[in-house]
Amino acid sequence: MAGFPVRYRGSIAELHGLTFTATVHDCDDDHGQDITARDEGCHTLVDETGRSLAHVRRSSITPIAPDGHDLHRAARDGDWIFLPNLGEVRFAYQESGPTRRTRWIHYYACSGRRWGIFARLVSIYDAAAIRTRYTTPQERLTWQLRMALDELAETYAHPHLRQAFEEHADLVERLTQQQELNAAAVTDAPELAGIVAGQGW
């Protein structure tokens, strides 16, 4: 299994915050009756000097995304998140709920042929506003372009939405130009291709 970058935050205080490459391995026998460790799974960590740590719990590491931030950081507009009983959705924003123990999570979804922002009331104890997986800038741009094209097609069919049509036409043009610039950057700098394509994670 390919390794992935992580930051250490386990029981060895002097190693906190250091970056390692982690690989998962099966080591049930090494933990005996430690059920928590067996359930979490084990990782072997190796740093750039070759120093290694074995039998590291999942709770002792923080995966790092290609953008250099924690993979499971607080969600930002357009990030993938997981909502209970709904699954993975694109996060928009969040706000306080009707009680101290709840909050509203707003997310993007397509209803019929129109995109909109919907809301789900969740418990503050649910990790709903946490990024679940990494999205490359190009993937995010493609998603935004898809939404804009869908809205463009829908507003074109309704003359009374002429202003909305023109606004979405302008947005499609801007997003298309940005895609072309991103593609040109990768062509001029091939070493960026892996980052844009989300490879190496």
pLDDT digits (tens, 9 = 90+) for 135-185: 888 788 888 777 777 777 666 666 655 666 667 667 667 767 776 666 555
pTM above 0.75, yes or no: no
Q: Do 185 and 162 fall into the same domain?
A: yes
User: What SS3 class is residue 200?
Assistant: coil
- Within-domain flag for 161: yes
Do 150 and 183 sit in the same domain of this protein? yes
Same domain, 142 and 182: yes
- pLDDT of amino acid 58: 85
In a domain? residue 75: no
Categorize the per-residue pLDDT at 200 as very low, low, confident or very high, splitting at 50, 70 and 90: very low
Longest dimension (CA), the chain: 70
Three-class secondary structure of residue 167 per DSSP:
helix
| Domain residue limits at 48 | 4-63
- Whether 70 is in a domain gets the answer no
The rounded distance, in Å, linking the Cα atoms of 58 and 68 is 19
Q: Percentage of the chain with pLDDT > 70?
A: 70
Q: 191 and 144, same structural domain?
A: yes
In a domain, 201, yes or no: no
Looking at the structure, tell me whether residues 118 and 149 fall in a common domain: no
If one compares 173 and 6, the residue with the highest pLDDT of the two is: 6
Residues 55, 90 within the same domain: no
User: What is the total residue count of the chain?
Assistant: 201
Q: Across residues 62-69, what is the average pLDDT?
A: 86
Q: Is the domain of 53 the same as that of 85? A: no
Could you tell me if residue 132 is inside a domain?
no
Residue 88, in any domain of the structure? yes
Structural domain contains residue 129: no
Instruction: Dig out the tokens for 42 from the structure.
Output: 């084990």
Number of domains in the chain: 3
Q: Does residue 36 fall inside a structural domain?
A: yes
Q: What's the pLDDT at 39? A: 47
Strand 42-46, strand 19-25: pairing: antiparallel
Of 83-87, 107-111, 150-154, 162-166, which gets the smallest average pLDDT? 162-166
Residue 193 pLDDT exceeds 50:
no
Q: Is the dihedral of CA 49, 50, 55, 57 positive or negative?
A: positive
Q: What is the C-alpha to C-alpha distance for residues 82 and 62, in angstroms, rounded to an integer?
A: 18
Per-residue pLDDT tens digits for 14-30: 999 888 988 887 765 55
Looking at the fold, whether 119 and 145 belong to one and the same domain comes out as no
Mean pLDDT value across the chain: 77
